[in-house]
Chain A
Amino acid sequence: MTKILIVDDEPTVRALLRDVLEIEGYDIAEASDGESAIAAVADEVPDLLVLDVMMPGMSGIDVLMQLREQHSNNQLPIILLTAASDDDTTWRGWSSGASIYLQKPFDPSHLLDWVERLISGPSGPSPAGPAGDGAGSGPDDEGLLSEFGGLSNE
């Protein structure tokens, strides 16, 4: 069973992520801060991480940088999630090794498309490729492309 670790300090957002991912059959573990996320990964490496940026203490970017010292993008895809929309945070997220960067409030179908794409593709995200079979929900290619469009405009 595909295991996903969700890391967010906001309980309602964690609950939402769990609900969205569990309905598609993913096995979910939770962490409410950066330190326990690092500990959880050290304990058992999940198949994917959904990581909030703005958390008290260790930020999502700190967690990301630390994890990338040991786990490559292919070994551990990481979806960064944040409410910040400033260019600086976005850039720091990308340059620290996020597989994909999604903004809150996120679209659940959009998140599921990315999870599926990142988990099924051993070579990581491929912006031009199809998003796979789409378990129950069709891939939102326009949305996916615009996500990358946002990056290439930087």
Chain B
Amino acid sequence: MSVLTVRDMTRERRIERMKSDFIATVSHELKTPITPIKGYSQLLLTRWDRLDQEKRERMLQTMLERSEHLSRLVEDLLIASKVSELETTKLDIRSTEIQLSDIVNDVTAASPELADRLTVNGADTQVFCDRQRAVQCLSNLVNNAKKYSEPGTEILIRSEVPEDGEFATIAVIDQGRGIPAEEVDRVFEQFYRVEDPMTMTTGGTGLGLYISRTLARAMGGDISVESVFGEGSTFELSLPRTQVSEGETA
């Protein structure tokens, strides 16, 4: 009886700690885009006449972009609150036949700031998935590659279509810091982050990979990782080439 109590307390403490870490990271992630939104609105309100038209437009554009980023973040949090490994049916997945290159193009078009770092190559084929969700998965992998590697280093997006294979894959390969071997299996866990959440030198809620893998699996695909600590990581999104029949999804 006493053993059980101790175990329960340890578990309770762990959950408590995870919750406070999560709240700290989420509030940091939310405040980051709010900073320019609040700052520019105040600047525009108080110094409108001292700003030229070009500056005003640029400031409003930043506010709009940051608001969109904020909305995506809130969307991620909502998805995370809805899904568990067993409850993917709650997700609104609308799969259609699209090209693998459509997904890659959507992601590269949405990241103009990475234009000189992204290299795209590989084969193309038709895949059966929800375009918006697949783009969400891939852009998450690309953002991670950016976040965990030195500015200026190459990020490779490589599409592969194995012959007669059921799946096509898009790999995101970076030359970043990589993931310690003992942590590789944990990166897809909800709220898990490779570094100490209390130091938080890199932003993130610890939800991105969890959400991405859940979405990929809900579409009948998956996300896997290979990494060499200190050399870089390869995250691979696989998507079914044909319609996955009911009950076959992971």
Instruction: Enumerate chain A residues within 8 angstroms of B201, measured Cβ to Cβ.
Output: 54-57, 59
Q: Does B232 contact A (CB under 8 A)?
A: no
Number of interface residues of A (CB under 8 A): 28
Pair A83/B39 contact, Cβ less than 8 Å: no
Q: How many residues of B contact A (CB 8 A)?
A: 33
A86 proximity list for chain B (CB < 8 A):
24
The answer to whether A109 has its CB under 8 Å from any CB of chain B is: yes
Q: Indicate whether A23 sits within 8 Å of B42 (C-beta atoms), given known contacts A56-B201, A83-B27, A105-B37.
A: no
| A140 CB, nearest partner CB in chain B, Å | 12
* Cα–Cα, bound, A106→B37 (Å): 10
Taking a contact as CB atoms under 8 Å apart, the answer to whether A59 and B35 are in contact is: no
Tell me the interface secondary structure of chain B in the complex: helix
Interface string of B38-76 (1 = CB under 8 A from A): 111011001100110001000100100110000000000
Bound CA–CA A54/B35 (angstroms): 14
In the complex, per-residue mask of A5-28: 1 if CB is within 8 Å of any chain B CB, else 0 = 000001111011001100100000
Q: Any chain A CB within 8 A of the CB of B202?
A: yes
Contact of A105 among B38, B50, B203 (CB under 8 A): B38
Binary flags per residue of A53-88, CB closer than 8 Å to B gives 1, else 0: 011110100000000000000000000000111101
Q: Summarize A's interface: helix, strand, loop or mixed.
A: loop
CB distance from A88 to the nearest CB of B (A): 8
Mask of A25-44 contacts with B, CB within 8 angstroms, 1/0: 00000001000000000000
Q: Which residues of B contact A153 (CB under 8 A)?
A: none
Q: Are the CB atoms of A16 and B42 closer together than 8 Å?
A: no
Q: Could you say which residues of chain A place their CB within 8 Å of the CB of B147?
A: 56
Give Cα distance in the complex from A38 to B55, angstroms.
30
A10: which of B32, B50, B51, B65 is its contact (CB, 8 Å)?
A: B32
> A54-B28, A54-B201, A55-B201 in contact; A83/B43 too (CB < 8 A)?
no
Contacts A32-B151, A106-B39 given; 10 further ones with Cβ under 8 A? A10-B32, A10-B35, A16-B43, A20-B39, A59-B199, A105-B34, A105-B39, A106-B35, A109-B42, A136-B47
Q: List 12 A-B contacts (CB under 8 A).
A: A12-B66, A13-B32, A16-B35, A16-B40, A19-B59, A32-B151, A54-B200, A54-B201, A104-B32, A105-B35, A106-B35, A109-B42
